[in-house]
Amino acid sequence: MENLRELNLKLTAESLRKAIHKDIIIVQTIHSIDNLIAVISKLLSNLRERYGYYNSESMKIEDQKQLLNEIKKFKKGKVGIDLDKEDLDSVLDLVEVIEKLIDTKEKQEKYLETLMKKECPFLLETAGPLVGARLISLANDLKHLAELPSSTIQVLGAEKALFRHLKEGARAPKFGVIYNHESISKDKNRGKAARHLAAKISIAVKKDYFRKK
């Protein structure tokens, strides 16, 4: 009886292991990363708001890490209202947690790349880790993404604009999440670049999926 129970536990664990594909982990990880990106931008705009009263010059700095370093160097007594020690400490606490968030985001991105190298190396190479993982997430998993035509991959993530196009005759969207890929933001003719990239991704993801099967 005891043995039977143990065997049962083992079999359950085994079937769980088979049921949960690694692409689910990829989807969860890109969710974490996209959450972290949103969170960092929210807290940074809050920090700009708070720190701007003490040193309005800093508001002009666009680069995230540069802004954080600038604030850490800040000394009391510049133009702006005076900072008590506790005011400064509180602002610096915010700086510290944002630095930690940026660091975590970078680590999660590396982890995502490791996962994708094993699971879908062709997609990783063609689309990059973030765009590739967002496409898997939008299609639910690798299998469904492999079944989509290239024209759908091109507009994945632009569903709102697509339905506006179909229902109200608005302009058709040229791209969804693949917009963030460098080959598109660099190209003058973005529509054409998006079509090309989507076609390449469509082939890459089919290679990945059927290699696994």
Question: For a second copy, which is the closer residue by CB, 6 or 147?
Answer: 6
The contact set with a second copy (CB under 8 A) reads 9, 12-13, 16-17, 20, 24-25, 28-29, 31-32, 35-36, 39, 42-43, 46, 49-50, 53, 79-82, 86-87, 89-90, 93-94, 96-97, 100-101, 104, 107-108, 111, 114
Question: For a second copy, which is the closer residue by CB, 5 or 188?
Answer: 5
Question: For a second copy, which is the closer residue by CB, 51 or 175?
Answer: 51
Here the tokens at position 158 are 């632009």
Nearest alpha carbon to residue 138 among 18, 26, 2, 12 = 26
CB 129, min distance to a second copy, A: 14
Residue 35's SS3 state is: helix
CB 176, min distance to a second copy, A: 22
Question: For a second copy, which is the closer residue by CB, 1 or 19?
Answer: 19
Question: What gap in Å lies between CA 93 and CA 84, rounded to an integer?
Answer: 14
Give the length of the chain: 213
Residue 69's SS3 state is: helix
CB 205, min distance to a second copy, A: 23
The burial class, CB within 10 Å (0-12 / 13-18 / 19+), for 187 is middle
CB 73, min distance to a second copy, A: 20
Question: What gap in Å lies between CA 118 and CA 25, rounded to an integer?
Answer: 12
